[in-house]
Structure 1
Amino acid sequence: MLAIFTYIFAHYFIKLIYKYCFTFKFLYYIKKSKSNLLKKIFIKIYYQIQQVLEFHKIKTIQVISQFFQANSCFKVFLFLYSSQQYGFRQNISIILSFIFLLIIVIIMINTFRGQFKKIKIDQLKNSQLETLILFKKIMFLFILIAIQAQPIVQCILLSFILCIYVGFLLANYKLDFDLLLKILLEIPVILFILINLFFCDDFEIFITPSKQIILGFFQICLLMLSLFAPIIKFTLKFYQNFSIYRKLREKKQITKTAKIFEILKW
């Protein structure tokens, strides 16, 4: 609810105040006013509104999207799936839940359409990537909650969503080390989900319990492999920061040494 209020407040209410209150006629009366207190209050309000509008222009959908975390979506999906009572309060809760989901859909659509013309291409791609990750989490939650009785369909759909995500990364981003790390994080998860098919009732008869144990250990290895991606990324970032720090320290040491020689020469 906080995210909904923030989005509506920043997008509509502030703009209405700025458009209809801060007119030339209103500014003229403020200027002619002899009250310094009134002028200070007006200037304070004006700058605050300017900051909110600037926040809305710069951060836009990327910041608002961060309010809609997957935890909230999980609660909404779980409520809608398990809702079996009927009444006035229940109907209001269902309507608010659908409004919540609708706002998320609108935000994701606007991000992929690139409605903000002044935004840079790199910023737009990063915003689209965050929106796609949010969409992936939402679809995961929806499939895990709504299709519990059909594990085969669950596994296929979950792996299909991850394949779409990997395909989007390969199609829209330059192949570099960071992209390889992201793919390294996703491919073991895809294989892990597909291997779960062998543990479903329809396929369980084709493998022995000993082979199921081997598959279980293989799944553990896949998950451990997916953990290497963030570890490698953290190690590389730490090494880069340490290299920058060492160069700066050497530069300062050279500067101090030069100053000492200048003093001695003097």
Structure 2
Amino acid sequence: MQRNELSRERSHDSSGTAERASQTALDVDELVVGYPRADEPVIDGQTLAVPEGEVTALIGPNGSGKSTLLKGLSNRLEPDGGRVLLDGRRVDSFDSKELARKLGRLSQQNTAPDSISVEELVERGRYPHQGFFESQTADDEDAVDDAIAMAGVEHLRDRKIGTLSGGQTQLVWIAMALAQDTDVLLLDEPTTFLDPRHQLEVMRVVERLRDESETTVVLVLHDISQAARYADNVVALNEGSIHASGPPEAVVTADLLADVFGIDSEVIETEHGPVVIPLGSIEDPGCGSSGN
């Protein structure tokens, strides 16, 4: 398939069963996902193909369903309808440890005892690869070393978690997810609340994952320009529906930002991808390029 292509054609065998005609890591077919006490589903009948070995960014206003979709992809929420396929197999058919060897997920809220070291936390990422009462193997040690190096936290290796800054802690959690050594990694708002330097470091880790290990990364981002710069594919959600998906230059447009985010903006094409300059709310009669 061509790079940045989210949609794909399907072929059929003699029994009429749909087969994948191109390389996708995750296939979402008519997915319906919600929360037990909610009257309506958050994601209602959405279909999406996530290309293998690429970075896909989910964008959208607060409450649009980005994090809920991510939970559906990782089987953290049981679907009320439809299905999610990982390498052609339903994610809800994997047992938890088997799924964790293929798909990793880092949520918004992560907690660990302040007294454990960075290395000890990263080692926890090896849990899916170990049996009961099994000590670390040479492969585990190599995976931990590689994860710490890729996340750029080697200098923090012996530090206690409680002594780290927010940005440092986030990089360590990402290192733990890397140590899990999965084909697919889901990151829920990994740059939120970080200063620009640590945001850049996180996104560079994402780039290296794609370029050096061909890991499929799906991440939720609030910074639209950041999504346009680093992602191969952008999926814009609004009110639980996929409003648009495709390469950044096709999705990140002034029209889409008006429709999905309710803002008047200017989108400037640069060598690093589209850059968004918000001008104001479209409900505000005093904003906009007209100057009125």
Measured against the shorter chain, the TM-score band is: under 0.3
Higher strand share: 2
So what's the TM-score if we normalise by structure 2? 0.26
Which has the larger Rg? 1
Q: Which has the higher helix share?
A: 1
Query: What's the TM-score once normalised by structure 1's chain length?
Result: 0.28
Question: Bigger relative contact order, structure 1 or 2, given CA contacts below 8 A and separation 6+?
Answer: 2
